[in-house]
Amino acid sequence: MIAFICENLFLYKIGCMKRFLKSLNFALNGLKLSFQLGGNFKIQLSLLLLSISLGLWFKIAQEEWLWIIVCSSAVLSFEALNTAIEELCNRITKEEDEHIARIKDLSAGAVLIASISALIIGIIIFSKHISHFLF
């Protein structure tokens, strides 16, 4: 009986791992598509690399790293969602459509909100380090 339970549990775990790996593959493909299709995604990723470089240069505190990670994750996530929404809208119709235009504008607005917030937090974090460096 115990052998039967252990065997079924093992098979269940293998099935879960296969589903997880398949889901992970879809997610990685989504990142690849975000990079290929989203021009702004590349810009946001470049800004993340700049933030990481500055953070390492100025040896920022752990709390500051957490803010950079949260902000960057939010901006890149919104950018990926914006790209997905634009792709979906373009699939629905290639013609001018007022509703589709509003949907795209709202999606881009969400990215802008996250980007402005990240910029403000970046200024707060790095301004004190840059001022110490310059003066």
- Which CATH number belongs to the domain containing residue 113 in this structure? 1.10.287.3610
Considering the domain architecture, whether residues 94 and 66 belong to the same structural domain is answered as: yes
Taking only the tens place, the pLDDT of each residue in 56-112 is 999 999 999 999 999 999 999 999 999 999 999 999 988 899 999 999 999 999 999
Considering the domain architecture, whether residues 33 and 48 belong to the same structural domain is answered as: no
Contact 112, 86 (CB under 8 A): no
From 70, 73, 82, 68, select the one nearest 112 (Cα to Cα): 82
- The pLDDT score that the predictor gives to residue 2 is 66
Average model confidence (pLDDT) across the chain: 89
Considering the domain architecture, whether residues 73 and 93 belong to the same structural domain is answered as: yes
Q: What is the pTM of this model?
A: 0.82
Contact 68, 125 (CB under 8 A): yes
Q: Which domain holds residue 51?
A: 39-134
For residue 16, pLDDT over 90 is answered with: no
Higher pLDDT, 8 or 116: 116
Is residue 27 exposed (0-12), middle (13-18) or buried (19+ Cβ within 10 Å)? exposed
Q: What are phi and psi of 97, to 5 degrees?
A: -145, 125
Residue 108: HSE in the Cβ half-sphere, 13 Å Cα cutoff: 12
**pLDDT grade, residue 118 (50/70/90)?**
very high
- The pLDDT score that the predictor gives to residue 1 is 63
Q: Any alpha helices (H) in 1-135, and if so which ranges?
A: 2-37, 39-58, 62-92, 98-134
- How far apart CA 79 and CA 52 sit, in angstroms, is 19
For residue 8, pLDDT over 70 is answered with: no
